[in-house]
Amino acid sequence: AQSVTQPDIHITVSEGASLELRCNYSYGATPYLFWYVQSPGQGLQLLLKYFSGDTLVQGIKGFEAEFKRSQSSFNLRKPSVHWSDAAEYFCAVGAWGFGNEKLTFGTGTRLTIIP
């Protein structure tokens, strides 16, 4: 069975500073990896996803993530955060095929932006 670990429950970053949110996964085959963002009172919005190919994936809102198979990681990055990036971020691993088409989510990282 697949699993996801987001080791940071809460991160505080100054506006304009760079950001990296960590995600480690466990899965026996090539994973499908996702980052979702949840703004207060909202549903989840897909930021980016990795299925295959280039290990550096670009997403919406200036986010990117890098798949590192050797480290079982899929960390999310942004070079300069904006106050509007304050939200909760979820990493997820998906298993497709053989009827196992569902996502397993991490516990989330809450991002606070300070002026």
Structure-token match 């069975």, residue found: 1
* Residue type for position 110: R
Candidates 13-21, 56-64, 77-85, 96-104 — which segment interacts with another protein by CB under 8 A? 96-104
The answer to whether 90 contacts another protein (rule: CB under 8 A) is yes
* Residue type for position 44: L
Phi and psi, residue 48, nearest 5°: -170, 170
Phi and psi, residue 56, nearest 5°: -100, 115
- Token pair belonging to 40: 């207060």
Report the nearest approach of another protein to the CB of residue 87 (Å).
14
Residue placing its CB nearer to another protein in the complex, 59 or 113: 59
Could you list the residues that contact another protein (CB under 8 A)? 9, 32, 34, 36, 42-46, 49, 51-52, 90, 94, 96, 99, 101-108
